[in-house]
Structure formats: structure tokens, C-alpha cells
Amino acid sequence: MAEETILESTERTSGREALRKNVQAALALAGAVRSTLGPKGLDKLLIDDQGGTLVTNDGVTVLETARVEHPVARMVISASSTQDKVARDGTTSTVVICAEMLRNAWQLVRQGVHPATIARGFAQAEDISLEALDGLSISAERGHILAAIETSLAGKLDSKIAKHLSSLALEAGEAIIKDGIADATRVKVIHQSGGSMLDTELITGLAIPKTRIHSEMKERGGPGSILLLDGGLEKRQPRIDAKLNVTSVGMMEEFRRAETAALLKQVENLKAIGCDLVVCREGVDDDARQALANAGILAYRRVERKDMELLSRSCGANIVIDAKRATADDLGAFISTREELSGGVNHWILDAEEGGATLIAKGSTSDVISEVERCFADALGVCCQLLEDPRLLPGAGATQVALARLLRRKAESIPGREQMAIDAFADALESIPRALATNAGFDGVDSLLKLVAMQSEGGENIGLNLEAGEPSDVVERGVMEPLNITRQAISGASEAAISILRIDDVLWATMEPEIPEEAQQRLQGFGAE
């Protein structure tokens, strides 16, 4: 098929015009979230088509909620979503830096620099920046980690609750880190309405709002072995439609007896394989309940699948279907088990080798509780990264300014037009301190100039002070961020910008896909003969 035919039903923009439109789309996005950046950033009120509302300060939430259709804008949003997944923070920064890179690139294109040259310069600048980050980083102690978690929550919550959640996140992180890996999915969250956000608490161990099924069973104990049963310890009920020919009065009785015997056999097997604790997805019959108590096996029933899976990972236990066929290999191990009252609800708490922790999120309304949960998840994400890789970078614009200064020095030695692109990349990084200052009510340009000047005197740890206005040492003030967040933000933004610069042609389909006429005729004729 000739090119014209393929392109017939598309609207086409190419070359500079395509780039101009794409840059516009990215800038529009950045414009929507820039004012939320930093501790003094403003909130956005999001309203969905059902009239539901959400107040948020989180860039990625704003962008993911807005139904943006422009494909290039979607590329920028996807860089921000990746940032959220990989680093749990830095989503607004990613969008702001990416859009600024494109704005500056557009200026260069207008001066006659080819987009491919700019893309090359950006790639070089990205390499230089990522390499320099290691040198700018500080290795974190516990106090630093706490400060970094608080920095990541800055502006999202009232500072008292931010502090509280940060310390709970650190406690949770320390409870789950094992062999250098902190898997945030080992922390579960229970919602409990009533009380204030500040009553939110952390329990080390997996807490499940359940009570053991028989009071004769021991409430606490351990260590021991645990069996997870994806089913129950129940007699089968003869169903009405079952083909069971009841020919004598005793037959029903006989059926029940056989079922009870089968049930007790299951309990016997649990005892034989050395199980101390059994957890069932479904119910446990009275007969089995008593037999378990007699056998000294602790039991919980009607435990949700999600909790079963968590228990399985924490204890290293298989989830089995049939208690009668379970073997010692299916058992997992726990360190201790206990029950505790929290907020008037009895919780079963299990401590296991692989760790686990439970946040009891409290608040006056379900919206407030969800907000607590969201912020805690972000805080925990940041905490886990830092426990795995305890390297921090100075925040409050310090790192971006340090990189920009370095890039400008390096650019001088590059003879080609890439030099201009590297300078443009440096300018784009500085959009972060500019926006932080602007959002705090200072003049963006003046603040940036002052910061650059002070860094050249006082070193790379000098960052903005959004309270006093005069830049100062941010490490001393505890404004620090995980290396990983800044690294990911810079690489995500540059890579998105580079791929957008490489787009030379935009083809918009203007019509729904249609069945070609020839095929349609054949279809109509079909069956007529």
C-alpha cells in the first residue's frame, strides 16, 4: 500500500511543528503540578465525575486522576508513574524537570540546533549527573533516615502527624528488614475508625482482628509450627440434590458418623505432623474445635486470603487444601503468638522469622484514614529504600544546583553544539529550586542566584531555606532525600525528554477503524448465494 493511502485517514504534524505541540503538552502538565512542589506547595482539589473529592498535594495523583489524552503528555505522566513505583517520591519533580528540559530544547531548536543534537547532549548531561550523584551523597545514620522520611512527607500532612507517621514507618522498616532487603509488602494496614490520626499505632508482627476459636486454647506461646489451610475443618453437608438414597432411618446417622470420623482424622494428622497452630480460610466445626483444643493445637478460622498469603510468606508455610494430606514440609515456623486488645478489638498477633508489622491506621473518617494509609505507604517506601541503600542527598534544591554548576563547567570543554544542550539541561535542573522558592512566596530567580553564589563559597550542602529565605546547610537542618529518588527523577525526566525530542512525526487517527469497502461487499454477498 502506498504511503498516501495509509496516511489518508490521519492528521499529520511533522518536524518542528510536531515538537512545538509536544513541548506545549508537557508544559501544560508541568503547569498543573508545579504549584504543589515542596513543603510550601499548595494542595489540589480533585473532583471526579461522580462528584467525589480528593484533596492532594501529590503530583502523580493529580496527573493520574486527570484524564489526559495527549499521547506525549501521557509519556510524561508515565515517567511520573514509574517514579512513583520505583522510588515512591519525586513524582512532581520528574514532571517539572522533564517539561523544563523540553522548553529549553525548543528554544535551541528555534536557534537552529537539531533535536537529535539536543537529545545527544541531554544523554551526555544525564550521564554526567548520575555519575556525580554518588560523590554528592552522604551515608545516612538512623537520625538522618528519620529526617529523610519526614522530608518526603513535608507539605502532605500537618507536621505533627508527619513526624508520627515517619517514626512508625522507620519502626516498621526495621521490623521487616532481612538480609539487607526490606519488602514493604510485609507490612499490613488495618483501618480503625474513631480517634485521631495521632492515635495511629504500629504493632510489630502480623496482626489480624481475630480471637482463637476455643477459650481452652492457649492465648500466647511459641516458637512453634504453623499450618495454613485454604479451607476449613468442617463436615460435608449432604446436599439436597445429592444422589443419596436414604433407605433407612439409620443411614443419615451413619453418614454423619463417617463425616465426623473423617474430620477427626484430619485433626489427628495435624497432630502427627507436629502442627502447633492451624489457620483456616473457612470454618471449624464444633467436633474439630474440641479435638484441636484437646490436641493442644491453637486455631484461628475465617482468615482472609490476603492475610493467609502474608502469613505464608512470613512463616515460610505452604497453603494446603487438604488437612489430611498435609505433611511436615508444608509447615511454617513462627516465633511467638499472642492476643492483644487494640481500640476495643481483639487482635491475634504473630511474630515470624521473616518479620512483619501492622499499622493500625486511625482517624475520624474513612477519608482521613485513607490519607493516613497513603502517606504511611509513601513514608514506608522511602524508609525501605534507605534501609537497603542508606545514601542521602541534600534536598531543598541543593543537589540540583550542585549538578547544574558541575554541568556548566563540564560543558565548556565540549566543542560541539551539544555544549548548548548540556547548558539547557543544567537550566532545567534549576527549575526545582526556582519552583520551591516561588511556591514559598520568594522570587524564584533571585533565590536561585543567591543559592548558586552561596554554593560556590560554602559548598554543595547549601540549599534553600524556605522559612528564613537565606540559603543554609540543609544537612544540618535535616532536609535530605534518598539518593535513589533524585537519581530516578533525573533519569526518568531525561529519558522521557529524549524520547519526545526524537519524535519527528505525529499521526493522529481521525477516524474509527473501518472495514475496507471491498471486504464489506464480500461480507454482504456472503450467504446470499
Q: How far is the CB of 90 from ligand ADP (least distance, A)?
A: 4
Q: Quick one: which of 288, 298, 352, 396 contacts ligand ADP (CB under 6 A)?
A: 396
Identify what 394 binds: ligand ADP, Mg ion, none; CB under 5 to 8 Å per kind. Answer: none
Considering only the stretches 86-94, 241-249, 325-333, 363-371, report the one whose residues sit in contact with ligand ADP under the rule CB under 6 A: 86-94
CA 465 to chain centre: 29
Query: Which one, 393 or 420, has the nearer CB to ligand ADP?
Result: 393
Query: Which one, 205 or 395, has the nearer CB to ligand ADP?
Result: 395
Determine, following the binding rule CB under 6 A, whether residue 90 of this chain makes contact with ligand ADP: yes
Q: How far is the CB of 87 from ligand ADP (least distance, A)?
A: 9
User: Would you call 58 a catalytic residue per the annotation?
Assistant: yes
CA 510 to chain centre: 37
For residue 191, what is its C-alpha cell?
A: 483501618
Would you call 285 helix, strand, or coil by DSSP?
coil
Binders of ligand ADP: how many residues, by CB under 6 A? 22
Ordered strands of the 206-208 beta sheet:
206-208, 345-351, 336-342
Of 56, 208, 157, 187, nearest to 363 by C-alpha is 157
**DSSP string computed for 43-67:** PEEEE-TT--EEEE--HHHHHHHS-
3-state secondary structure 164-230: HHHHHHHHHHHHHCECCECCHHHEEEEEEEECCHHHCEEEECEEECCCCCCCCCCCCECCEEEEEEC
H or E segment and range at residue 424: helix 418-429
Determine, following the binding rule CB under 6 A, whether residue 481 of this chain makes contact with ligand ADP: yes
Q: How far is the CB of 368 from Mg ion (least distance, A)?
A: 20
Helices (H) and strands (E) in the chain, counts: 19, 20
User: Would you call 91 a catalytic residue per the annotation?
Assistant: yes
Query: What is the rounded CA–CA span in Å between residue 175 and residue 169?
Result: 10
> Which residue has its beta carbon closest to ligand ADP?
395
Query: What is the rounded CA–CA span in Å between residue 118 and residue 165?
Result: 43
Q: How far is the CB of 215 from ligand ADP (least distance, A)?
A: 50
Site string for Mg ion, 63-92 (x = CB under 5 A): --------------------------x---
Determine, following the binding rule CB under 6 A, whether residue 92 of this chain makes contact with ligand ADP: yes
Identify what 479 binds: ligand ADP, Mg ion, none; CB under 5 to 8 Å per kind. Answer: ligand ADP
Query: Which one, 121 or 394, has the nearer CB to Mg ion?
Result: 394
Q: Are 228 and 312 in contact (CB under 8 A)?
A: yes
Binding site for Mg ion (CB under 5 A): 89
Binding site for ligand ADP (CB under 6 A): 36-39, 41, 59, 89-93, 151, 154-155, 395-396, 432, 436, 464, 466, 479, 481
**Residues carrying an active site annotation:** 58, 91-92, 378
